[in-house]
């Protein structure tokens, strides 16, 4: 595996990352206790070569996010839109 950020990625490095993500998907389904180790390996791989993230498809990124959510117990949700409308009770003619 490359240890410098400016080295081009090898096909083997990309394949290894994809294999780890596939194993992570299986670990999610089977509740494998090795999931934290897989997440750590994926994190270390991406940390060494951040450009690998751009080569992942949305499904692979979703698998990593889903595993992190399951491991930490944190759910990711859409931001709620805040309404700027005043209630009709507090409106005056100046607001119109």
Q: What is the pLDDT of residues 64-81, one digit of tens each?
A: 999 988 888 887 776 666
Summarize the confidence of residues 15-26 as an average pLDDT.
Answer: 90
pLDDT of residue 19: 92
As a 3-state breakdown, the chain gives helix, strand, coil percent values, each rounded to 5, of 60, 0, 40
Confidence class for position 39, pLDDT limits 50, 70, 90: very high
* Rounded distance between C-alpha atoms, residue 63 and residue 69, angstroms: 10
For the entire predicted model, the pTM comes to 0.64
Closest CA relative to residue 56, chosen from 74, 76, 71, 42: 42
């Amino acid at each position: 595996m490359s240890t410098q950020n400016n080295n081009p990625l090898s096909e083997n490095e990309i394949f290894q990352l994809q294999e780890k993500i596939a194993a992570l998907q299986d670990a999610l389904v089977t509740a494998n206790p090795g999931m934290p180790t897989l997440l750590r390996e994926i994190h270390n791989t991406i940390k060494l070569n951040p450009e690998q993230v751009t080569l992942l498809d949305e499904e692979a990124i979703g698998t990593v996010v889903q595993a992190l959510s399951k491991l930490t117990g944190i759910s990711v949700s859409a931001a709620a839109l805040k309404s700027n409308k005043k209630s009709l009770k507090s409106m005056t003619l100046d607001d119109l």
